[in-house]
Amino acid sequence: MVSSQVVTYHHFQSLAIIMAIRSSFLVLLTPLLLACQSSPLALMPEQNFEQDLVALQDYFHIPGLAALVTKNGEVIYENYLGYADLQQKQQVDSTTLFPIASVTKSFAAVLALKLAESGTLDLEQSVNSYLPDQGLSDSVKVKHLLSHTSEGVPGSFFNYSYRYSQLTTILEQAGGRSLDSLMSEHIIDAFNLQHTVALMDQAVVDKLQADLAQPYLFYGETEPGHFDPGFSTASGLASTVRDLASFDQSLMEGKLISDNSRERMFTPFPTTYGISPYGIGIFSQEFMGKKIVWGYGQEDCFSSLYLKVPSQDLTLILLANNNLMSDPARLINGDITYSLFALSFFKHFVWPDELYGQNRRRLPLFEENPVLDSTLVEGTRGPLIRQQLLAQALAASFMGQGFPEEYARSRHWTETAFQHFPQYRHYGNQTLLKLLTELARQGEYGDFRDFGDFDKVVQELGNQLLDVYPYDPYSNVYMGLFYQQRQEPERALKYFQALDQALDFAPFWYTLEAWEFLGEYYEPEDPERARGYYQKIIDLGWNMGGVVDRARVKLRD
């Protein structure tokens, strides 16, 4: 179990103070941070981290947040902010259960590796030997599902895929029991995770109502949301930060799986094209010379983060009851440095002394015009400063959906980042491309419909990424939407065609974007071909954004 030698930090003396800070965040943030700079507490990473958590909770309108940091198995920070249930005014505490969504994948990966160690599961085995009716190539192996490299030519490229859930049947066949039973026997019960449970169905959710954080949506206003019951290797566990810390410690101590299996889990899976950001059931990337291992969860109404720096035996665990801890950062693309929550953890716990010396608040969150001299930009802290600017820009571009003025702030931080860090070809990736194309697409909400110099960056970065792997779905859809926004359908065409023509890719939201565009593109001169694309949308049946409804209207017309 994780050591209980912990002080829970409550530097805001009452909920009233916290709520006052939340209600006037933009006004009070700067003087608050300046006050911290002159206070002895500013020298403490825990307090500075908490300042950031409160600011981020406010910015992303998160009703309730649970946070825990461990070092060498000892809890060094633990706190619970806000409400598990707004209506009942029930505060989050150490026993509050949160659905952890895709962090479940790490539990499933441990179970798979454990079965492999016992000889009951072969990760090199073809998936078809377990699931012969899924239409997959014989070359797709269990290890490809575990590493999100099953699409296209297996092992060639990372693409986060819902095929991970197919491991449910595979583990059940190998283990001879239901996934729920296997998970309980080998992990949950075996390591006394008393507050970890599989949300099998609505009946389980109803039974646990008093213990569960309630779900919330945010579309300009916080609204009651919904649970997504169902349990698979991809999602479905609910837990607490303390139980997740116990799971983490058992993993690091070699109690769950061997050290060799853990190293395999934490090592990026070798791929033909590019460097994969994913190992076995968990992300793994390098940042500023350190390996960062992490997993995230995102449902409509919940989000979670499990992040490790193995070389320092540091772990961060965060749980929230809306999805805005994950969704704005586009973590599905595999870069944790676009998460403002992770960056705050890095600043205050991973690189506090060498980056900030005695003043760890040197670059506060959301500072409108940060003073960035050459010492800051060109020194060891440069990548962290760059990523904070870009992460703020990405968050603002997302929050602009509810607050249009955020688009201007997003553009400002993007321009500041490019001004001080112009070598975007060296650090640019799918997530940066997403940011730039989102700004271009949302120009109608601001005063910068002309995207100006960023057009060149989008085109260069998009081409660079697609030179590495032409069927990269995210780069293709971002570029297609970019040219569609510019009303250049002829240039958008090839990107959407690439999505349509990609072989052995599981359909996803970008597939629907491609089919709808292609239907509209061919409709004037080849209506029969267009009808084929609309029918594909209807057959898939995912009515994301009303796309199925629009396709039905097209076919009726």
pLDDT tens, residue by residue, 356-369: 554 444 578 998 88
Distance CA 458, CA 418 (A): 13
Tell me how far apart the terminal alpha carbons of the chain are, to the nearest angstrom. 63
User: Would you call 241 exposed, middle or buried from its count of C-beta atoms within 10 A (0-12, 13-18, 19+)?
Assistant: buried
What count of other Cβ atoms lies within 10 Å of the Cβ of residue 532? 14
pLDDT digits (tens, 9 = 90+) for 297-350: 999 999 999 999 999 999 999 999 999 999 999 999 999 999 999 999 999 999
- As a whole number of angstroms, the distance between CA 236 and CA 377 comes to 42
Cβ atoms within 10 Å, residue 94: 14
Is the confidence at residue 203, as pLDDT, over 80?
Answer: yes
pLDDT tens sequence across 239-288:
999 999 999 999 999 999 999 999 999 999 999 998 899 999 999 999 99
Contact 115, 258 (CB under 8 A): no
pLDDT at 441: 73
pLDDT band at 31 (very low <50, low <70, confident <90, very high): very low
Angle value at C-alpha 60, between 32 and 80, nearest 5 degrees: 70
Domains of the chain as residue ranges with CATH: 98-302 (3.40.710.10), 373-556 (1.25.40)
Report the chain's mean pLDDT, rounded to a whole number: 89
Residue 446 has pLDDT above 60, yes or no: no
Predicted pLDDT of residue 442: 67
Mean pLDDT across 30-59: 69
- Give pLDDT, residue 455: 86
Nearest to 182 by CA among 287, 273, 112, 267: 112
The pLDDT value recorded for residue 70 is: 98
* Helix (H) or strand (E) run with residue 159 in it: none
Arithmetic mean of pLDDT, 76-97: 98
Cα separation of 73 and 297, whole Å?
Answer: 23
Ramachandran quadrant class, 79 (left: phi over 0; alpha: psi -120 to 50; beta: rest): beta
Between 36-40, 145-149, 207-211, the lowest mean confidence (pLDDT) is in: 36-40
Is 80 exceeded by the pLDDT of residue 134?
Answer: yes
Instruction: Please give the average per-residue pLDDT across 213-225, as a whole number.
Output: 97
Separation of alpha carbons 322 and 48, rounded Å: 23
Residue 40 has pLDDT above 70, yes or no: no
CB 345 within 8 A of CB 316: yes
Q: Distance between CA 267 and CA 261 in Å, rounded? A: 10
- Whether 184 has a pLDDT exceeding 70, the answer reads yes
The string of pLDDT tens digits covering residues 335-359 is 999 999 999 999 999 998 655 554 4
Q: What are phi and psi of 239, to 5 degrees?
A: -160, -175
Q: Residue 24: pLDDT above 50?
A: no
pLDDT at 10 over 50: no
User: How does residue 27 score in pLDDT terms, banded at 50, 70 and 90?
Assistant: very low
pLDDT above 90 as % of the chain? 81
pLDDT at 525: 96
The mean per-residue pLDDT over the stretch 84-97 comes to 98
pLDDT the model gives residue 451: 52
Please determine, for residue 21, whether its predicted confidence score (pLDDT) is greater than 60: no
Phi and psi for 228 in degrees, rounded to 5? -120, 75
**Which has more confidence, 417 or 37?**
417
